[in-house]
Chains A and B, each alone.
Chain A
Amino acid sequence: DVKVTQSSRYLVKRTGEKVFLECVQDMDHENMFWYRQDPGLGLRLIYFSYDVKMKEKGDIPEGYSVSREKKERFSLILESASTNQTSMYLCASSFLGHGEAFFGQGTRLTVV
């Protein structure tokens, strides 16, 4: 069974804090993705990575950065959390090319 694990289901952080969201996959997938989901806006791609140390901006990268030091782990970083980053964050992974994508359980982040 493919497993994509996000470090937290629920997270509450204060405005201005540096926040790390972690995602680990166990299928040796090359691609990893971070999305955020907001009511009325659907799922929007923040960043993705197709290899270690490689990253590509998605549609809404502003206010975020990512790190991929190992193939199995992809971290999303909120450098200085703001209330408009309160959202559901979803991580996914897939094989390079046409691979089927699998998602983690999601992290509901609240910034107060």
Chain B
Amino acid sequence: GIQVEQSPPDLILQEGANSTLRCNFSDSVNNLQWFHQNPWGQLINLFYIPSGTKQNGRLSATTVATERYSLLYISSSQTTDSGVYFCAVLYNQGGKLIFGQGTELSVKP
């Protein structure tokens, strides 16, 4: 089956710093999403980005499907950005959404 790997597993930043989170996947995918899991456990949709680049405020994402990776950029980080960031891919076979292990981000004031 497809492998989805996220890096780094943990990241500690000072407020105001920028960061890049990476998601590598081992096979062709139909869909890629980035989520932020809030402290209460809910997964919040950040980007639906099977290819190309999108921006939403301080966050942006780029997926290069031919090279099988996606990047999530967080600029001018805030303490409210803390939490776990997941990428998930919709694999060609069977419609399953497969998750990476996540990057746990901690932004210090």
Contact = CB atoms under 8 A, between A and B. Distances in A.
B95 A31 contact: yes
Contacts, number: 57
A5 to B, nearest CB: 11
Interface in A90-111: 90, 92, 94, 96-106, 108
Interface stretch (B37-45, B60-68, B73-81): B37-45
Interface string A55-93: 010100000000000000000000000000000101010
A28 B42 CA distance: 21
A52 interface: no
Contact of B42 (A43, A98, A99, A105): A105
Interface string B77-109: 000000000101010001111111110000000
A88 B86 contact: no
Interface residues of A, number: 27
A97 B30 contact: yes
Interface string B22-57: 000000001101010000111101001010000000
Given A42-B101, A106-B41, A100 B48 contact: yes
